[in-house]
Structure 1
Amino acid sequence: MLKTINKSSVLIMFFIVTFLFISCDKKRIFDEYLPISNQKWSKHNTLQFAFTATDTLQKHNLFINVRNNKDYPFSNLFIIAQMSFPDGNVITDTLEYDMADGAGRFLGEGTLDIKDNKLFYKEKIIFPAKGTYTFKVRQSMRKNGNVDGIEELDGLTHVGFRIEKTE
């Protein structure tokens, strides 16, 4: 009987904490993660996120979220990001982000084994039209002196895309 009460209490507490966590995130408009198969991001694996913009007046911040583990072998990350608009226009950006500090310690939040990195993509943008937008991202890492990209980038567990309202 005591184990049942404890399990029930833990379950209820879990739902309360989850509800509070979700309800406190009032800036979030869109937030989705995709897993990286075998924690190896292939240069041929373009991740895609689709979202519907309904507000053409509010400014938004856009983020690329990356989870890495201790097997990530670099201090930076190069990615190609592409935003497609409802009217067919496409913006493509080549981006570089720091993943570790000068001493080699991974940046981001989390445990020693997994780090969450919330990387700015676009700041204070206004969506020009209502409709469906598509965001695509792929890794573009290369070894020094090598023209061909790295086939599989180790140590990344998830990549996400997040949209927040600005204040």
Structure 2
Amino acid sequence: MKTKKIFLLGLMLVFISCNDKKVFSEYKTDFKSNQWQKSDVKSFDITIDDESKNHDLTLILSHVYDYQFDQVPVIISVKNPKGETEIINIDLILKDSAGKDKGDCLGDICDLKQTFKKNVNLIKGNYVISVAHDFNNSYLPNISSLGLEVTLSE
């Protein structure tokens, strides 16, 4: 019985230590009929408490397996505590040159992680990060969630 308790305690410590770099993580799952409407801007409110360390900002897009598009253009707006806004245009690259999904796929859903800011210093305070797609149609099909993670840089 004592061995079992020690094993469980060790397992808990492993899980806790794996997440010590994560500052923020949130997912938006309110995509009606798995469609991301062009007018539906997703916003994330983040508080940075420690400005002495650099951070990485990563988008996570969950989509159906074997997505019909190789990339998805997105517009990211980062409003800092001073009220200044930075606009970042990127393409989320969903497939490699061979046409294989770049995300981690389980069943029929793939989670693509793409860092759009790496090793940046974020000043202490509240940030609002907004994400909209810049796809040519009124909606982007087959999307189940959009997430944002902020982690400490290595």
Q: Please list the CA deviations of residues 30-66 of structure 1 after superposition, one character each: whole Å capped at 9, or x if unmatched.
A: 0100012221000000000001111111011110111
The size of the alignment, in residue pairs, is: 145
Q: Is the 8 A contact 1:73 1:154 kept in 2?
A: no
Partner AA of 2:104 in structure 1: E
Q: Distance in 1 between matches of 2:66 and 2:39?
A: 20
Equivalent residue, structure 1, for 2:100: 105
Q: Which has the larger radius of gyration?
A: 1
Structure 1, gaps ≥5 residues long: 1-12, 143-149
Equivalent residue, structure 2, for 1:135: 129
Cα offset for 1:166? 1.3
Cα offset for 1:21? 3.8
Equivalent residue, structure 1, for 2:4: none
What pairs up with 1:73-152 in 2 under 5 angstroms? Answer: 73-128=68-123, 130-142=124-136, 150-152=137-139
Q: Distance in 1 between matches of 2:135 and 2:107?
A: 23
* Alignment root-mean-square deviation, CA: 2.0
3-state SS, counterpart of residue 105 of structure 1: coil
Is 2:141 the partner of 1:154? yes
Cα distance 1:105–1:125, how it changes in 2: closer, same or farther (>3 A)? same
Partner AA of 1:136 in structure 2: S
Cα distance 1:97–1:60, how it changes in 2: closer, same or farther (>3 A)? same
Q: Please list the CA deviations of residues 12-42 of structure 1 after superposition, one character each: whole Å capped at 9, or x if unmatched.
A: x9xx978854552221100100012221000
What pairs up with 1:60-71 in 2 under 5 angstroms? Answer: 60-70=55-65
Q: Is the 8 A contact 1:61 1:165 kept in 2?
A: yes
Equivalent residue, structure 2, for 1:6: none
TM-score, normalised to structure 1, is 0.79
Identity of aligned residues (%): 26
Q: Please list the CA deviations of residues 48-100 of structure 1 after superposition, one character each: whole Å capped at 9, or x if unmatched.
A: 00011111110111101111113732110100000001111000011112101
Equivalent residue, structure 2, for 1:8: none
3-state SS, counterpart of residue 72 of structure 2: strand
TM-score, normalised to structure 2, is 0.85
Q: Distance in 1 between matches of 2:125 and 2:92?
A: 29
Partner AA of 1:59 in structure 2: N
3-state SS, counterpart of residue 110 of structure 1: strand
Q: Which runs of 4+ in 1 moved over 3 A?
A: 16-23
Q: In proportion to residue count, which structure has more strand? A: 2
Q: Is the 8 A contact 2:35 2:139 kept in 1?
A: yes
Q: Distance in 2 between matches of 1:18 and 1:138?
A: 37
Cα distance 1:164–1:104, how it changes in 2: closer, same or farther (>3 A)? same
